Chain A
Amino acid sequence: MAKNKEQVSTVRRAKHSGILTVLFSIISILWISPMLVVLLNSFKRKAYIFRYPFGFSANSITDGWDKFMQGAKQIFCGTLNYTNGLKATKFWGCFGNSLFITVCSVAVIILCCSMCAWYIVRVHTKFTRFMYVMCLFSMIVPFQMVMFTLSKFANMLHLSNPVGIIIVYLGFGAGLAVFMFTGFVKGISLEIEEAAMIDGCNPIQTFFLIVFPILKPTTVTVAILQAMWIWNDYLLPSLVLNVNKYKTIPIAVQYLKQSHGQIDWGAMMAVLVLAITPIVIFYIACQKYIIEGVLAGAVKG
């Protein structure tokens, strides 16, 4: 990577670097401006959101500063939308559900699928080959194909709660995870594991002490890909979960529209800001891993 960057800077430095920087600064700000507009509007009274969607005040700044400030006071309402939005969606409960489901599902997927993938690679039987092919196959099946039967079965098996849905996510996420882990395990040489076995490790010890630490890069990739999918997933939880009792954030946002018929745009803006903020924080904190994970996932998928 470092070498590549050096090449880029020496071989391909553009002639108009300064102009390009300015140009891309403007494009970048425009690119994320929809989020900034939502942030701005989340503080406005809902009656004024569509009357002055992009402005700061009801009066133009050319009318003088006092009038401008007066107009601003007229359309902004502080954190009123946030209070309404939090109440209407019971946001913190949804946030908790989303966090619990995402973290637990990702942990379970990583643990179970890495173990399964190691077994599939190391044990050569017809069954393991069949399982591998099924995992590949499951990746191309669209969710609409199984949504009706899956949600009804989940209901019958009492999986319609945040704990039960983890099993559903393990099942539906297993394809990609097993595929990526097997790809990596195939590249690990047998000798290390043999040495561990000869030293008296049983397969459980061999896996957790030797293999699992080696898998770390793939583990990060799988964790990022699955977390992005599960956190943002709408259709699966809305069908599987008992939505009257448990909502995730995407479900809460969607139901803000349906339950009232019309949309309370004030509350909607506030909830959107609350929904985006954790993602932005997470992204800034783990940017390197996210981009690497996405890249590895795209090339293999």
Chain B
Amino acid sequence: MSEYSLAPFIKKRKGRIMEKAIKRYFPLFVMPTLIAFAIGFIVPFVYGIFLSFCKFTTVVDWSWVGLQNYARIFVVNGKLDTSFLHSIWYTALFTVTSVLIINVVAFAIGMALTKGIKGTNLFRTAFFLPNLIGGIVLSYIWLMIFNAVLQNFSKTIVYSQWYAFWGLIIVVCWQQIGYMMIIYIAGIQNIPGDLIEAAKIDGANAWQMLRNVTLPMLMPTITICSFLTLTNGFKLFDQNLALTGGNPGKMSQLLALNIYDTMYGTTGWQGVGQAKAVIFFILVAIIAVAQNKLTTSKEVES
């Protein structure tokens, strides 16, 4: 009896002794990561927020200007500047379109590749391959192909912002469909087989199976894939820089490129660029928090 009540206590003590022993090795275990983390993230982040309220050209010649940078995002010399708003709107449209196309196509391919057809593994390999190629290299492959096709109509990919838009959509679809397909395949394979058999015995047709069995069971996977494509679309930079460079006339600038261009394109605008970056961060953070809320609430339900 007494042994029973003592056991957890002894265990806790042992854990504490171990904790004490490990604690002495703090400099070895945590210091390297902590220092790098401070240099690579904490200090630049905090200082970045501070600088968004300053006028500066390097990190040491700052002077406090308050909210002036944030005002200059939208109003320049008393005139309304819509370039940032345009890029927010352009990015939102781009993101929604890419999320829809990527997820629908990836789901369709995933369904087809779990039917046990011959050569499934080979197809999966082929579809996933573009995902490993980086955005810059990928974009130049497509830049060549787009311009080779469009020259027949005497146009290029930067003929208008909509040519650039669909060009970017094709590039990100090619890159991400394979990745999402892999996640969808894993999700589809996790649906219990007896569930599908039961539905079949009950006489469900293909459409009813999809609507009432497959899609509800796949909700967690769909959530993951939607948010992955959503954040990828919002943060897209490399493809935008390499494929269109923001042309024609900055009209195809997504948010990330717009910030980069403001910061490095014209001198004296670093503060405005930093202020835009803070707004960008807040937008991305809202998406991330929404995702967290949604996934945890889904977990509770199931």
Report if A133 contacts B (CB, 8 A): no
Contact B280 A145 (CB under 8 A): yes
- Which residues of chain A in 1-49 are interfacial with respect to chain B, using CB atoms and an 8 Å cutoff? 4-5, 7-9, 11-14, 17-18, 20-21, 24-25, 27-29, 31-32, 34-35, 37-38, 41, 49
Contact A148 B33 (CB under 8 A): no
Contact B135 A232 (CB under 8 A): yes
Report if A214 contacts B (CB, 8 A): no
Contact B186 A295 (CB under 8 A): yes
Q: Given the complex, which residues of B lie within 8 Å of A272, measured CB to CB?
A: 137, 140-141
Report if A268 contacts B (CB, 8 A): yes
Q: Given the complex, which residues of B lie within 8 Å of A152, measured CB to CB?
A: 58-59
Produce 1/0 per residue, B1-45, CB < 8 A to A: 000000000000011001101111110111011101111111111
Report if B119 contacts A (CB, 8 A): yes
Q: Given the complex, which residues of B lie within 8 Å of A143, measured CB to CB?
A: 235, 237
Closest to A269 in B: B144
Report if A290 contacts B (CB, 8 A): yes
- Which residues of chain B in 105-158 are interfacial with respect to chain A, using CB atoms and an 8 Å cutoff? 112-119, 122-137, 140-142, 144-145, 147-149, 151
- Which residues of chain B in 265-295 are interfacial with respect to chain A, using CB atoms and an 8 Å cutoff? 270, 273-274, 277-278, 280-281, 284-285, 288
Closest to A124 in B: B19
Contact A142 B115 (CB under 8 A): no
Instruction: Please pick, from A35, A141, A197, the residue contacting B281 in the complex, using a CB distance under 8 A.
Output: A141
Q: Given the complex, which residues of A lie within 8 Å of B288, measured CB to CB?
A: 140
| Chain B residue total in the interface (Cβ 8 A) | 95
The listed residue with most A CB atoms (<10 A of its CB), out of B40, B131, B183, B186, is B40
- B contact residues vs A (CB 8 Å cutoff): 14-15, 18-19, 21-26, 28-30, 32-34, 36-45, 47-48, 51, 58-59, 112-119, 122-137, 140-142, 144-145, 147-149, 151, 174, 179, 182-183, 186, 189-190, 193, 196-197, 224, 228, 235, 237-238, 241-242, 256, 259-260, 263, 270, 273-274, 277-278, 280-281, 284-285, 288
- A contact residues vs B (CB 8 Å cutoff): 4-5, 7-9, 11-14, 17-18, 20-21, 24-25, 27-29, 31-32, 34-35, 37-38, 41, 49-50, 53-54, 112-113, 115-116, 118-120, 122-124, 131, 134-135, 138, 140-150, 152-154, 156-157, 159, 167-172, 174-175, 178, 190, 193-194, 197, 202-204, 207, 228, 231-235, 249-250, 253-254, 257, 265, 268-269, 272, 275-276, 279-280, 282-284, 287, 290-291, 294-295, 298-299, 301
Q: List 15 A-B contacts (CB under 8 A).
A: A20-B112, A21-B118, A34-B145, A38-B141, A54-B148, A141-B41, A146-B41, A148-B51, A168-B40, A171-B38, A203-B21, A232-B132, A249-B137, A250-B136, A298-B224
